[in-house]
Structure 1
Amino acid sequence: MSAPIELLCDVAIIGAGTAGLAAERAARANGAKTLLIDPNFDGTTCANVGCMPSKLLIAAAKARRSVDRAQVFGVNVGDVSVDGESVMQRVQDERDRFAALTRKSIREIPDGIRIEARAKFSGRCTLDLDDGRSITAKTIVIATGSRPAMPDAFAKLGDRALTNRTIFELATLPRRLAVVGAGAIGLEMAQAFAGLGVAVALFDKSETMAKVRCPRVHDALEAIISDELEVHLGVDVTPERRGDEVCLRWEGKSVGEAMFDYVIVAVGRPPVLDGIAIENAQVALDSDGVPCHDRATMRCGDSPIFLAGDVANDLPLLHEASHDGAIAGRNAAAYPAEVKTDRHVPFTITFTDPPVVSIGESEADGAVSGCSDYSDQGRARVEARAEGAVTLYAAAPDGVLIGADLVAPAGEHLGHLLAWAIQNEMTATQVLTMPFYHPTIEEGLKQALRTVCAATPIEIPATQDAGSPSGG
């Protein structure tokens, strides 16, 4: 009987999603011999079941809303129908195209680096593969990602319970849909399906959607979402399958019972750590079973183990996963030397219509805030999109911007501008000295910025002292 084959490398990366790919590139760019291990190499979560298919569905709903809104401008389009099969076919076709492009980029990784297998720790720096081979590495990066949670009560529903992994495989739109979980995924899916004519009800045990911190912004969001679908917050739900339907009962702030064709379960995405024998890595774990790590280096304690991406259970976002991977790969290659990296300001976008954005901090010693109301903002009113609110947070006494919550037209663009200003530690006064073209959605920020300035000893710039004559 021949001895098992042992592979040697400087850096072994477990998982070929966004974070793992970034870690492999960074490690190799820093002179390391790398091995990238994945059982399928079928592309990233973003392309297959995340960012891209969800935005394709959201785009279809946005097109349908644009037709409805046309009447406001005196544009009458007559009878309108939604072809559910065509909607889902385009989602799947374009999704497959994006996924194929990611797989193509993976195939371009030099020969000998990709290892198609499942790996588990056999020691701190050794891995056993399910094909009988083993790997000994100087350092190891864990980038195994996350998966949608499926509580037992919903698992019993079988194919009537959907997650982001299965929802995009539907051949057509359902008639009635329940969405359990009012986080980013739940909110996006609930509003998108409702916008396409599906009867949707949204449930969450929390009384807050999308973790919005500002009550004023949350009130605006709840009004927007409730205009298109049923919203039940602060409730516990109990599902029961009845043939090809689901009976959902709920109690709490409201009580009721209704029948649905499907339930989307969007109650979280726990890290994937089962199956890799993490106990053999000899690293400390937190209360959730995730290796304790330093976000400035992605290193687990003083070990040669690093984390990257959703498995780290920090901020499960693509740009954070990519940044994690770059940091982990570089430090894994340089081990035992360390390079600490300043992290981006925390920044999330939920692609509702209009988008919800959360940036940075909301509280600090002596913090002040300022609000802008978009329900009568000039450009938003021109576009028949006058809805939403913005709250900015700033540190006293100088008014340095530290965070923001908003739901507003063009929110993803406002969010980027604010995230850049916050990361560069700009004051509200400095932002007000920047040019604001008229009439634009960006002008609406001036009301909040002026309020922040008024709460600090810093004088409002004279050129920005007055509002525009048309609600800017």
Structure 2
Amino acid sequence: MKQLTVDVAVIGGGTAGLSAYRAAKQHANHVVMIEGGPFGTTCARVGCMPSKLLIAAAEASHQAQSTDAFGVHIEGAVVVDSKQVMARVKSERDRFVGFVVEGVDSIPSEDKIEGYAKFVGTHTLQVDGHTQIHAERIVIATGSRPAYPQVWNELGDRLVVNDDIFDWDDLPASIAIFGPGVIGLELGQALHRLGVQVHMFGVGGNVGPLTDPAVREYATQTFKHEFPLYPDVKLEHMKRNGNAVDIRYVDDHGTLQDIKVNYVIAATGRRPNVDKLALESLSLDLDSKGVPIADPLTMQSSMPHIFIAGDASNQLPLLHEAADQGRIAGDNAGRYPTLQNGLRRSAISVVFSDPQIAMIGMTYQEAQRRLGACNCLVIGEVSFENQGRSRVMLKNKGLLRIYAEQGTGILMGAEMIGPAAEHLAHLLAWAHQQQMTIAQMLDMPFYHPVIEEGVRTALRSAADQLDSNSDCATTCMECEQEGMA
């Protein structure tokens, strides 16, 4: 058994782990990174990059089939060569992974330990059966994995998770996707536009990450118009039948339906990879899902020498958040016992569907909880159905809702579905991080004709409801204090 003593041990070699390792090395002499699987990131291998490659192919197909309204007619059918589609997806995916691997290869070999780690003491990690590490500080950056009901394993190889799709050489004729969240929407719509028969099912009525009932309803009806979507399905049964799966469900009209699909895709969320770390041997404070609770500004857990970052933290499972959290956790693990609050940016999330979905700052649900009880929530709204540039491009589907605080006029957040939402979200997130007011945002330049003019319309809608004489800031503070009491 090899014995090591180090300043910092980072468990995980993905986005958060790599960021943590590099940050810790700025302060500590001996830092190691432990990884049981391939070094690299979920994003490059099975997440954001390959999914966007599939979406890009789907957009090309959809655009080619949607030119008639412009008076541009393509003679003959648009043919999707699904084998060629997947060949490009995998080729470009491997190229992105290569860049990540190059970065990992630049790390000294003695700093990389291959194997799965678990705690055998408050400062001691056992890596498989070959190495025991005593670490003064530890960063948990073990990422996440797809999660689904274990009973579905009875479907055998007819059940796949989203990670598996990017190893396909060809596309199936039909699929059922369970989970109309970010991953389910992106992959489901893309596969539909590439010629796959898609049925999408959910429980509870949620579509994407949206919490605003008006935006969520708009999104639901928009996607339902394109492919079968049942956000709150009543599933009667799902059974394997040879090389297919039989599914019986009750549709929105109460009618019993039977379908047969080639595969079932589980897109029902991801689970932090902390269950095999033997955390029960520690006195860590855990949340209801067994995930260590970390301070969002320092990423320090309830045990001062242990930090947690990335998907394993169960805070915001996004690549840019993982990179930020890893940097903060590694920096503090390296400089410990001195701690420094890290930069936490305004929240921003995007679903690369068509229309796109985006959210920034506070969600509607959070804004209602903080401002709704004291009647201090102002909502500005715009529909993109008659927005000039959107209509010119025949991209005129969407709804943007902006949340502001009465009295101060400060932008609190926004939820939207619409054209170029990924770009609109960045503008709004930058304004949110600068704590701009609605009036200050309206003073910014808006060109004509651009989609951003829709943002101005929503801002004007909010401005019309603002009362500068309101004492909402004081009222809401009193409400919060009463609630805490």
Opposite residue 460 of structure 2, the aligned amino acid is R
* Structure 1 position 328, deviation (Å): 0.3
Opposite residue 449 of structure 1, the aligned amino acid is L
Count of residue correspondences: 456
Partner of 1:161: 159
Q: Return the alpha-carbon distance in structure 1 between the equivalents of residues 468 and 420 of structure 2.
A: 29
The answer to whether the 8 Å contact 2:181/2:209 transfers is yes
Alignment counterpart, residue 150 of structure 2, candidates 145, 149, 152: 152
* Structure 1 position 275, deviation (Å): 2.4
* Structure 1 position 151, deviation (Å): 1.3
The answer to whether the 8 Å contact 2:198/2:227 transfers is yes
Partner of 2:301: 300
Q: Return the alpha-carbon distance in structure 1 between the equivalents of residues 257 and 39 of structure 2.
A: 42
* Structure 1 position 5, deviation (Å): 2.4
Partner of 1:393: 403
| Matching of residue 52 in structure 1 with residue 49 in structure 2 | yes
CA RMSD, 1 decimal: 1.5
For 1:65-104, list aligned pairs within 5 A: 65-79=62-76, 80-104=78-102
Q: Return the alpha-carbon distance in structure 2 between the equivalents of residues 133 and 182 of structure 1.
A: 42
The answer to whether the 8 Å contact 1:345/1:419 transfers is yes
Partner of 1:18: 15
Q: Return the alpha-carbon distance in structure 1 between the equivalents of residues 47 and 461 of structure 2.
A: 38
Q: Return the alpha-carbon distance in structure 1 between the equivalents of residues 304 and 249 of structure 2.
A: 47
The answer to whether the 8 Å contact 1:177/1:199 transfers is yes
* Structure 1 position 282, deviation (Å): 3.0
The answer to whether the 8 Å contact 1:355/1:411 transfers is yes
| Matching of residue 5 in structure 1 with residue 15 in structure 2 | no
* Structure 1 position 33, deviation (Å): 2.1
Partner of 1:179: 177
Opposite residue 49 of structure 1, the aligned amino acid is V
For 1:350-389, list aligned pairs within 5 A: 350-361=351-362, 362=364, 363=367, 364-365=370-371, 366-389=376-399
Opposite residue 93 of structure 2, the aligned amino acid is R
The answer to whether the 8 Å contact 1:145/1:272 transfers is yes
Opposite residue 430 of structure 1, the aligned amino acid is Q
Partner of 2:480: none
The answer to whether the 8 Å contact 1:283/1:303 transfers is no
Partner of 2:454: 444
Range with bigger deviation, 434-443 or 129-138? 129-138
The answer to whether the 8 Å contact 2:283/2:303 transfers is no
Q: Percent identity?
A: 43
| Matching of residue 402 in structure 1 with residue 399 in structure 2 | no
* Structure 1 position 134, deviation (Å): 1.0
Q: Return the alpha-carbon distance in structure 1 between the equivalents of residues 412 and 283 of structure 2.
A: 38
The answer to whether the 8 Å contact 1:205/1:234 transfers is yes
Range with bigger deviation, 309-318 or 102-111? 102-111
Partner SS, residue 27 of structure 1: helix
Alignment counterpart, residue 225 of structure 1, candidates 220, 223, 226: 223
Partner of 2:310: 309
Range with bigger deviation, 218-227 or 163-172? 218-227
Partner SS, residue 138 of structure 2: strand
Partner SS, residue 49 of structure 2: helix
The Cα offsets for residues 238-276 of structure 1, whole Å up to 9 and x where unpaired, read as: 321000111112247544221111111111101111322
Partner of 1:464: none
Q: Return the alpha-carbon distance in structure 1 between the equivalents of residues 327 and 346 of structure 2.
A: 17
Partner of 1:415: 425
Opposite residue 32 of structure 2, the aligned amino acid is L
User: Which residues of structure 2 form unaligned runs of 5+?
Assistant: 470-485
Change (3 A) 1:108 1:12: same
* Structure 1 position 99, deviation (Å): 1.1
Q: Return the alpha-carbon distance in structure 2 between the equivalents of residues 155 and 399 of structure 1.
A: 51
The answer to whether the 8 Å contact 2:251/2:257 transfers is no
Q: Return the alpha-carbon distance in structure 1 between the equivalents of residues 133 and 145 of structure 2.
A: 26
Opposite residue 395 of structure 2, the aligned amino acid is R
The answer to whether the 8 Å contact 1:204/1:236 transfers is no
* Structure 1 position 30, deviation (Å): 2.6
User: Which residues of structure 1 form unaligned runs of 5+?
Assistant: 460-472
For 1:427-438, list aligned pairs within 5 A: 427-438=437-448
TM-score by length of 2: 0.91
Partner SS, residue 430 of structure 1: helix
The Cα offsets for residues 390-445 of structure 1, whole Å up to 9 and x where unpaired, read as: 00000111211010000111110001111111111111111111100101010111
Partner of 1:242: 241
Q: Return the alpha-carbon distance in structure 1 between the equivalents of residues 326 and 234 of structure 2.
A: 37
* Structure 1 position 287, deviation (Å): 1.6
* Structure 1 consecutive aligned stretches of length 4 or more whose deviation exceeds 6 Å: none
Partner of 2:323: 322
Opposite residue 92 of structure 1, the aligned amino acid is K
